[in-house]
């Protein structure tokens, strides 16, 4: 990237007598990161130029030159042969200056346009693609989780609350919980898309233009249309150049998705510890220790958990940056880009690595099933049994509490207590009561929609396999 300091750039010519100080350029430039918007900037400019021609501001020849010039510049950027100049501040000025150098008609391109509506346009176009891509990545992760669930639809684990063993569930049920979360994440991105997909061009710096632009034509050409193919354009020029709520929405959906991934990571980290030993993450997705030869560390999950902090931080940065900004455009808004880019890149990388890791994870079926065998996990089932015999649930809860205390005193598991011992606690206990300590029975009886019973989990797996099929 070049760093020479000409005294005049298009935004300073006429008004200024001196060029900007070198440190001013270094401090304020954004091309080092917003160059990523080049494709959208070029496509947006082409659409703007076509519209300018349609309203008689550009001649056919001028339009042709602009389209050709922009196309050529695009190719050079793609091939890495374009020289970005820091002194031209941002991607928009770099492309326009280069175009004008090649074709004088380039000087007409910025008619009735400001970088303020241009940058809003580029960002919205960039985000549309990002949303579609990210949703695809989330979809793939859902598929990987469903597959792992499908392979383990008979594997039981203890479900936990407070990280204490609570009640048995199928591993598939646990994994599908994340599939549900990710589905809502996709939904939030889909919602955000609708509000991103509105064309701000024509808003000018803040107050539109005296020239009569055809805003709908530009919107249509750039795909800013709703499901009925109706062009979507912003209704208020000041709003269009000053708010970044569409970016906040994206980053907020991303933050929540990252938090979901972080929780999934935490589960995988716990499960791969010797203490749990529920899963084995394959060598390809784990790392070793530089000192301890025996170590196999779940670093990918830890990094994903750690990176969620960045994504959440980006959201907070954006909200803080926006808070208290007077209308309309202020340069503070340039700070949106790095936060947005980092959010999108980080989340995408996390979702991808998770998908790969899940696909390379083996469930230790025997260990899981053994952990879920503890009859104490079915204490609630015993209380339910008492309810079926007519006891009030509070009373049943109290009685089973006494049964658990007895089992602890006698150091004998719940299912090994004698009927005579149970009867001393309450005479309603019969031999049948002990039948609740069959995990098989327990998983057959949990039949309601949403519950972890064998039939319902199979039904849920079928539902997701079908829904996630592409
Ligand atoms: N690079 C700027 C940004 O990202 C573009 C808009 C500049 N507008 C201005 N009036 N200085 O916000």
Residue 46: which CATH number?
1.10.275.10
Domain assignment of residue 17, yes or no: no
Do 348 and 405 sit in the same domain of this protein? no
Do 85 and 164 sit in the same domain of this protein? no
Is residue 398 flagged as an active site residue? Answer: no
Ligand 1 centre to CA of 325 (Å) is 15
Whole-number Cα distances in Å, 28 to 7, 18, 244: 16, 17, 19
Calculate ∠ Cα 281-284-287, nearest 5°: 80
Q: Which of 111, 126, 149 is the last residue of a domain?
A: 111
- What is residue 3's predicted lDDT score, i.e. its pLDDT? 46
Q: Which of 335, 355, 370 is the last residue of a domain?
A: 370
Pair 2, 88: CB distance under 8 Å: no
Q: How confident is the model at residue 4 (pLDDT cuts 50, 70, 90)?
A: very low
334 CB less than 6 Å from ligand 1?
A: yes
Which CATH number characterizes residue 168's domain?
1.20.200.10
Domain assignment of residue 142, yes or no: yes
Ligand 1 centre to CA of 330 (Å) is 8
Q: Read off the pLDDT of each residue in 10-30 and give the average, rounded to a whole number.
A: 86
* Substitution site in 117, 119, 241, 325 for ligand 1 pocket (most atoms within 8 Å of beta carbon): 119
30 CB less than 6 Å from ligand 1?
A: yes
Which atom, in ligand 1's list, is nearest to the CA of 329? 10
Q: Which of 342, 370, 398 is the last residue of a domain?
A: 370
Domain assignment of residue 6, yes or no: no
**Would the pLDDT of 23 be above 50?**
yes
Whole-number Cα distances in Å, 283 to 150, 203, 300, 316, 362: 22, 54, 11, 36, 11
Do 78 and 136 sit in the same domain of this protein? no
Going by alpha carbons, the residue nearest to atom 11 of ligand 1 is 331
Ligand 1 centre to CA of 125 (Å) is 16
| Domain containing residue 86 | 24-111
Ligand 1 centre to CA of 11 (Å) is 11
Ligand 1 centre to CA of 426 (Å) is 77
Distance CA(284)–CA(308), nearest Å, equals 22
Q: How many CA atoms lie within 13 A of 395 on its CB side?
A: 11
Task: Identify the three-state secondary structure at position 280.
Answer: strand
Pair 355, 178: CB distance under 8 Å: no
116 CB less than 6 Å from ligand 1?
A: yes
Do 191 and 264 sit in the same domain of this protein? yes
Distance CA(218)–CA(221), nearest Å, equals 5
Q: Which of 13, 162, 290, 420 is catalytic?
A: 162
Domain assignment of residue 3, yes or no: no
Do 88 and 170 sit in the same domain of this protein? no
Ligand 1 centre to CA of 285 (Å) is 42
90 CB less than 6 Å from ligand 1?
A: yes
Do 220 and 361 sit in the same domain of this protein? yes
Q: Read off the pLDDT of each residue in 386-393 and give the average, rounded to a whole number.
A: 96
* Substitution site in 334, 336, 337, 339 for ligand 1 pocket (most atoms within 8 Å of beta carbon): 334
Q: How confident is the model at residue 395 (pLDDT cuts 50, 70, 90)?
A: very high
Sign of CA dihedral 21, 39, 202, 254: negative
Pair 453, 445: CB distance under 8 Å: yes
104: alpha, beta or left, given left = phi > 0 and alpha = psi -120 to 50? alpha
**Would the pLDDT of 1 be above 70?**
no
Q: What is the dihedral of CA 251, 254, 260, 264, to 10 degrees?
A: -130
Ligand 1 centre to CA of 92 (Å) is 9
Do 70 and 131 sit in the same domain of this protein? no
Do 365 and 402 sit in the same domain of this protein? no
The separation between CA 78 and the C-alpha centre of its own chain, rounded to angstroms, equals: 27
Q: Read off the pLDDT of each residue in 377-389 and give the average, rounded to a whole number.
A: 96
Ligand 1 centre to CA of 331 (Å) is 6
Ligand 1 centre to CA of 115 (Å) is 6
* Substitution site in 10, 30, 90 for ligand 1 pocket (most atoms within 8 Å of beta carbon): 90
9 CB less than 6 Å from ligand 1?
A: no
Is residue 289 flagged as an active site residue? Answer: yes
**Would the pLDDT of 208 be above 80?**
yes
Do 47 and 77 sit in the same domain of this protein? yes
333 CB less than 6 Å from ligand 1?
A: yes
Do 302 and 248 sit in the same domain of this protein? yes
Going by alpha carbons, the residue nearest to atom 12 of ligand 1 is 334
Structure tokens at 158: 């203890």
Q: Read off the pLDDT of each residue in 198-215 and give the average, rounded to a whole number.
A: 98
DSSP for 251-266, please give it. Answer: HHHHHHHHHHHHHHHH
Per the structure, the count of domains in the chain is: 3
Structure tokens at 57: 């501001």
Distance CA(139)–CA(148), nearest Å, equals 14
- What is residue 8's predicted lDDT score, i.e. its pLDDT? 59
Q: Read off the pLDDT of each residue in 211-227 and give the average, rounded to a whole number.
A: 98
How many helices (H) and strands (E) the chain has is answered by: 18, 4
Pair 302, 354: CB distance under 8 Å: no
Which atom, in ligand 1's list, is nearest to the CA of 89? 1
Q: Which residue has the higher pLDDT, 223 or 9?
A: 223
Q: Which of 2, 11, 32, 289 is catalytic?
A: 289
DSSP for 298-353, please give it. Answer: -HHHHHHHHHHHHHHHHHHHHHHHHTTPPSS--GGGGGHHHHHHHHHHHHHHHHHH
pLDDT in tens, 314-357: 999 999 999 999 999 999 999 999 999 999 999 999 999 999 99
Domain assignment of residue 19, yes or no: no
Domain assignment of residue 392, yes or no: yes
Whole-prediction pTM: 0.94
- What is residue 240's predicted lDDT score, i.e. its pLDDT? 98
Going by alpha carbons, the residue nearest to atom 2 of ligand 1 is 334
Domain assignment of residue 341, yes or no: yes
37 CB less than 6 Å from ligand 1?
A: no
Which atom, in ligand 1's list, is nearest to the CA of 11? 11
Q: Read off the pLDDT of each residue in 106-116 and give the average, rounded to a whole number.
A: 98
Which CATH number characterizes residue 422's domain?
1.10.40.30
- What is residue 296's predicted lDDT score, i.e. its pLDDT? 87
Domain assignment of residue 82, yes or no: yes
**Would the pLDDT of 437 be above 50?**
yes
DSSP for 5-53, please give it. Answer: --S--TTTTTT-SSPPPHHHHHHH--HHHHGGGHHHHHHHHHHHHHHHH
pLDDT in tens, 133-190: 999 999 999 999 999 999 999 999 999 999 999 999 999 999 999 999 999 999 999 9
Do 393 and 362 sit in the same domain of this protein? no
Do 366 and 407 sit in the same domain of this protein? no
**Mean pLDDT score of the chain:** 95
* Substitution site in 27, 331, 336, 339 for ligand 1 pocket (most atoms within 8 Å of beta carbon): 331
- 341's CB contacts (< 8 A; 6+ apart) are 33, 36
Structure tokens at 339: 């936060």
* Substitution site in 84, 86, 115 for ligand 1 pocket (most atoms within 8 Å of beta carbon): 115
Closest by Cα among 224, 312, 219 to 261: 312
pLDDT in tens, 61-96: 999 999 999 999 999 999 999 999 999 999 999 999
Q: Read off the pLDDT of each residue in 442-463 and give the average, rounded to a whole number.
A: 94
């Amino acid at each position: 990237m070049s760093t020479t300091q000409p005294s005049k750039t298009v935004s300073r010519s006429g008004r200024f007598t001196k060029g900007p100080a070198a440190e001013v350029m270094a401090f304020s430039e954004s091309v080092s990161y917003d160059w990523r918007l080049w494709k959208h900037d070029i496509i947006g400019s082409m659409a703007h130029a076509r519209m300018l021609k349609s309203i008689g501001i550009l001649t056919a020849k001028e339009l042709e030159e602009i389209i050709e010039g922009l196309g050529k510049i695009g190719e050079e950027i793609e091939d890495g042969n374009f020289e970005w100049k820091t002194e031209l501040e941002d991607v928009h000025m770099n492309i326009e200056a280069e175009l004008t150098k090649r074709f004088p008609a380039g000087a007409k391109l910025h008619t009735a346009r400001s970088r303020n509506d241009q940058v809003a346009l580029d960002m919205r176009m960039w985000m549309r693609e990002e949303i579609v891509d990210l949703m695809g990545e989330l979809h793939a992760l859902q598929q990987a989780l469903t597959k792992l669930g499908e392979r383990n639809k008979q594997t039981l684990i203890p479900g936990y609350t407070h990280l204490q063993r609570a009640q048995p569930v199928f591993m598939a049920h646990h994994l599908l919980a994340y599939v549900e979360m990710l589905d809502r994440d996709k939904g939030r991105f889909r919602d955000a898309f609708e509000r991103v997909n509105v064309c701000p061009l024509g808003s000018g710096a803040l107050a539109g233009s005296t020239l009569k632009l055809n805003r709908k034509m530009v919107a249509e050409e750039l795909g800013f249309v709703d499901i009925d193919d109706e062009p979507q354009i912003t209704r208020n020029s000041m709003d269009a150049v000053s708010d970044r709520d569409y970016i906040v929405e994206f980053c907020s959906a991303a933050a929540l998705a990252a938090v979901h991934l972080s929780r999934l990571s935490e589960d995988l980290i716990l499960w791969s510890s010797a203490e749990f030993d529920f899963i084995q993450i394959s060598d390809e997705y784990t790392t070793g220790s530089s000192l301890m030869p025996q170590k196999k560390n779940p670093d990918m999950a830890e990094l994903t958990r750690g990176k969620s902090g960045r994504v959440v931080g980006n959201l907070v940065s954006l909200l803080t940056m926006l808070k208290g900004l007077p209308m309309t455009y202020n340069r503070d808004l340039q700070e949106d880009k790095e936060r947005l880019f980092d959010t999108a890149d980080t989340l995408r990388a996390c979702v991808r690595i998770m998908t790969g890791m899940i696909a390379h994870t083996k469930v230790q079926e025997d260990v899981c099933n053994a952990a879920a065998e503890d009859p104490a996990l079915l204490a609630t089932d015993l209380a339910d049994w008492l309810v079926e015999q007519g006891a009030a649930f509070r009373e049943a809860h109290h009685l089973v509490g006494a049964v658990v205390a007895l089992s602890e005193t006698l150091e004998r598991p719940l299912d090994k207590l004698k009927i005579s011992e149970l009867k001393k606690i309450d005479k309603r206990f019969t031999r049948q009561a002990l039948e609740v300590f069959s995990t098989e029975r327990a998983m057959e009886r949990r039949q309601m929609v949403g519950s972890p019973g064998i039939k319902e989990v199979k039904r849920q797996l079928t539902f997701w396999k079908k829904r996630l099929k592409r």
